[in-house]
Amino acid sequence: MHVMAATLFDALGRVLLAQRPVGKHLAGMWEFPGGKLEPGETPMDGLARELREEIGVTLLRADPLIRVPCHYPDRELLLDTWTSEQWEGQPQSLEGQALQWVLPEQIDPSILTRGDRAILQALRLPSRYAITPAQVPPAQVGIWFERIGHAIQHSAQLVQLHLPLWPREQVRELAAALLPIAQRHGSQLLLDGDIEGAQRLGIGVQLNSRELVALSERPLPLAQLVGVSCHDAPSLARAELLAVDFATLAPVAATPSHLQTLPLGWQAFHVLAEAAALPVYALGGLAPSDIAEARRNSAQGVAGSREFWSQ
């Protein structure tokens, strides 16, 4: 079943949520409004019709956001989500559903259906994911505190502290020192594989595929980001099963750090990202200048290290 959904924004930056009414599948849960695409309809036409019938608004323009495959015991559906700030009318309940306007950062993910949680993360996550270079020595802690702090102050919204040469406690101390800066600027910090440190600091964690396999459940509360480094369809499926927030998929292009690994290329990346039920960052041999190409191939954006710290 092909289902269209919309993230409609008002002038205050709030997004519209609708509650599934009694008698429907997942009744009581909140979702982004929309409905089933009819045979012969284009996605834009179907979305416009559903919004008109469901909440009485006229859609003027929308852009693709994310496509989320959803697997339930009794049904399979594709949640094809578009985002829009250009629509007319006053949203109203035409099907008995409750409506509410909420800022994306204030939405509690636990009230949303599983598929709509992925949509929320696609709204919240930026198009750039900066990862510190692995070769940074521990002696450069002062330099990198300044460098990361400067990047956060100049719009770096998602930063992974990937510092394998450092003692774990030193990485935690750096994260703790950066945390007030990140909080002031609405940025998210993630530790590399350190679940305990992330729990202690209340920040996110990025796991590799081996760490992912060792888990039986999501390692952090929904309020803390969990990312996973993936390389193939099975690892992406495992990430989906554990309800993580996003994945990186690599390598898309040739990279000096993985010379023996055959790059995926954009076509293979597109196929894997399109089938994943979570936002996916393209990683490996890429730079911020590749964001537009990544978006055309179903990526949330681009992740990287060297090219993201060159300025």
Give the DSSP letter string of the chain. -EEEEEEEB-TTS-EEEEEPPTTSTTTT-EE-SEEEPPTT--HHHHHHHHHHHHH--EEEEEEEEEEEEEEETTEEEEEEEEEEEEEES----SSS--EEEE-GGG--GGGB-HHHHHHHHHHHS-SEEEE--TT--GGGHHHHHHHHHHHHHTT--EEEE--TTS-HHHHHHHHHHHHHHHHHTT-EEEEES-HHHHHHHT-EEEE-HHHHHH-SS-SS-TTS-EEEEE-SHHHHHHHHHTT-SEEEE--SS--GGGTTSPP-HHHHHHHHHHH-SS-EEEESS--GGGHHHHHHTT-SEEEESGGGS--
For the chain, the average pLDDT equals 94
Please name which of 268, 279, 181, 191 lies closest in space to residue 232, comparing C-alpha atoms: 268
56 and 97 fall within a common domain: yes
- At 72-130, the pLDDT tens digits run 777 889 999 999 999 999 999 998 899 999 999 999 999 999 899 999 999 999 999 99
Q: Are residues 89 and 33 in the same domain?
A: yes
If asked whether residues 82 and 155 sit together in one domain, one would say no
Task: Give yes or no: residues 146 and 275 share one domain.
Answer: yes
Length of the chain: 311
Q: Is the pLDDT confidence value at 311 over 70? A: no
Q: Cβ(219)–Cβ(206) under 8 Å?
A: no
Q: 175-199: per-residue pLDDT in tens? A: 999 999 999 999 999 999 999 999 9
- Do 136 and 278 reside in the same domain of the chain? yes
Per-residue pLDDT for 257 more than 70? no
Strands 30-31 and 34-36: unpaired
Domain that holds residue 183: 128-308
Among 113, 120, 18, 22, smallest CA distance to 70 is for 113
Q: Tell me, what CATH number does 231's domain have?
A: 3.20.20.70
Say how far apart CA 58 and CA 51 lie, in whole Å.
7
**In a shared domain, residues 46 and 145:** no
Same domain, 88 and 135: no
**Do 92 and 145 reside in the same domain of the chain?**
no
**What is the reported pLDDT for 256?**
72
Q: In whole angstroms, what is the distance from residue 251 CA to residue 193 CA?
A: 19
Is there a single domain that holds both residue 171 and residue 298?
yes
Stronger pLDDT, 232 or 27, i.e. the higher one? 232
Cis peptide before 251 (omega within 30 of 0): yes
pLDDT category of residue 14 using cuts at 50, 70 and 90: very high
Please check the confidence at residue 139 and state whether its pLDDT lies above 60. Answer: yes
Give percent above pLDDT 90 in the chain: 88
Query: In the predicted model, what is the mean pLDDT of residues 236-259?
Result: 89
The last residue of one of the domains, among 119, 152, 184, is 119
The answer to whether residues 100 and 204 belong to one domain is no
Report how many domains make up the chain. 2
Whole-model pTM over 0.75: yes
Sheet of 58-72, strand order: 34-36, 2-8, 75-88, 58-72
Check which CATH number belongs to the domain holding 57 and give it.
Answer: 3.90.79.10
Please, which pLDDT band fits residue 49 given cuts at 50, 70 and 90? very high
Give the domain-ending residue among 67, 99, 119: 119
Same domain? For 38 and 134 the reply is no
Q: What does the alpha-carbon distance between residue 243 and residue 256 come to, in Å, rounded to a whole number?
A: 31
**Domain final position from 70, 101, 119:** 119
Verify that 66 and 209 share a domain, yes or no: no
